[in-house]
């Protein structure tokens, strides 16, 4: 009992220390705010957007930003601001699910490779090296051309592409952890490898994993936007940010806002997630993590 109390107290202390560290870096709050804002929009966007995301007002094509249209209109007279708000849902669903998938698969592979070591590690890591050797966007395009472009396939691609990075981080942490005493103790207690991996090691992998996941998320946003820009995976009139940039590109000299709006949204969200990920790192991994 007392043990639990101390644990809880130390946890509180750790979090408090983390909080103190955080306050020195206001960028983290900006990051959390940006991520939170777009997350909120992902949920309630269609309710608060001033116009429907696919509503065409052909008489109001390519209007510059104004009070009626905060970020102007595109070539179909659609409100760019509304499309960005509504489009954030897709960003979170596609990039988020993709990241989650990568984390789950990468975690499993990393745990197995790190824990068993030797031949298993060797085989898995070399396979992952192969995956790393191909430029990610190229690989994504090849997969999408083969599987056929659809939203669920984009999620699969993101998940697949980021397995190597996640599993390497997990593996390096596991390599460090598996020589620790609590793992030795668990082995002596006769726990199965599965139980050691998931009950003893996994909780300690979580902090670096959370940081890694947030970083992957920012990469995933960019990748999904790139694929959308190339017209892979999303179909018009979807308010996908990348697709919006692609559609607006030909109109750039007439209507810069239609391109800068969604491009800016991608940039802001990626930077926001980056700030957030930085903050998480400071909060959860004060000593830094070996990568």
Partner 1 sequence: MKRTLVLMIALLLSIGLVWASGGQGEGPTTEPVKEGKYGGVLRKAFFAPNSLDPAFSSSITDDEIARYWGDFLVYVDEGLSPDQSRSLAEKWQVSGDGLTWTFTLRKGVVFHNGVELTSKDVKFTFDRLRDPELGTATVAIYAGIDSIETPDKYTVVFKLNQVNPDLLINLGDYHTPVLWSGIGDPKAKQIGTGAFMVESYLPEDRMTFKRNPNYWRKDAEGNQLPYLDGIEFLFLGEPSAQVEALRGGQIDYLSYLPPEYVPTLESDPNMVVYQKPSNTHYVIHMRSDRKPFGDVRVRQAFRAAIDRQAILDGAFEGLGVTGRDTPIGPAYADFYLDIPELPRDVAKAKRLLAEAGYAGGLTVTLTAQQLSPVPAIATIVKEQLAEAGVDVEIQLVPSDVYYGADNLWLEADFSITDWGSRAVPQNYMSLAYTCDAKWNESHWCDQEVDALSAQAAVEMDRGKRAGIYKQIQQIFIDRGPILVPFFANSLWGANKRLKGIVPSGYLGTAVDLNVVYFED
Where do contacts with partner 1 occur on this chain (CB under 8 A)?
25, 27, 54-56, 58, 61, 75-77, 231, 235-237, 247, 249-254, 256, 259-260, 263-264, 267, 271, 274-275, 278
CB 128 within 8 A of CB 168: yes
Query: Please, which residue, 114 or 242, has the CB nearer to partner 1?
Result: 242
Beta-bridge partner residues of 73: 79
Query: Please, which residue, 61 or 187, has the CB nearer to partner 1?
Result: 61
* Min separation Cβ 58 and partner 1, Å: 5
* Min separation Cβ 5 and partner 1, Å: 37
- Token pair listed for 49: 């957007």
Cα Rg of the chain (Å, integer): 22
* Min separation Cβ 70 and partner 1, Å: 19
CB 169 within 8 A of CB 208: yes
14-29 residues labelled b (16+ CB within 10 A) or e (exposed): eeeebeeebeeeeebe
Query: Please, which residue, 25 or 198, has the CB nearer to partner 1?
Result: 25
Q: For residue 223, give the nearest of 168, 154, 277, 273 by alpha carbon.
A: 154
Query: Please, which residue, 198 or 222, has the CB nearer to partner 1?
Result: 222
* Min separation Cβ 94 and partner 1, Å: 17
């Amino acid at each position: 009992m007392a043990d639990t109390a101390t644990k809880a107290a130390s946890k509180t202390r750790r979090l408090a220390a983390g909080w103190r560290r955080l306050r020195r870096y206001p960028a983290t709050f900006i990051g959390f705010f940006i991520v939170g804002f777009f997350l909120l929009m992902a949920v309630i966007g269609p309710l608060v957007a001033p116009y429907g995301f696919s509503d065409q007002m052909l008489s109001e094509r390519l209007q510059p930003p104004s009070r009626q249209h905060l970020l102007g209109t595109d070539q179909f007279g659609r409100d760019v601001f509304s499309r960005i708000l509504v489009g954030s849902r897709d960003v979170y669903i596609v990039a988020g699910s993709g990241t989650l998938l990568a984390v789950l698969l990468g975690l499993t592979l990393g745990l197995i490779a790190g824990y068993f070591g030797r031949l298993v590690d060797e085989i898995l890591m070399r396979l992952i090296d192969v995956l790393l050797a191909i430029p990610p966007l190229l690989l994504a395009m090849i997969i999408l051309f083969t599987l056929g472009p659809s939203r669920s396939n984009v999620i699969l691609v993101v998940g697949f592409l980021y397995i190597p990075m996640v599993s390497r981080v997990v593996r390096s942490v596991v390599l460090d952890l598996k020589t620790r005493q609590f793992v030795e103790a668990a082995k002596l207690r006769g726990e199965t490898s599965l139980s050691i991996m998931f009950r003893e090691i996994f909780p300690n992998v979580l902090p670096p994993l959370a940081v890694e996941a947030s970083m992957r998320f920012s990469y995933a946003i960019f990748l999904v936007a790139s694929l959308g820009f190339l017209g892979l995976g999303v179909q018009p009139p979807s308010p996908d940010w990348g697709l919006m940039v692609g559609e607006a590109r030909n109109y750039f000299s007439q209507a810069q806002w239609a391109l800068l709006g969604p491009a800016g949204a991608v940039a802001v969200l990626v930077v926001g997630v980056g700030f957030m990920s930085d903050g998480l790192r400071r909060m959860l991994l004060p000593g830094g993590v070996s990568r």
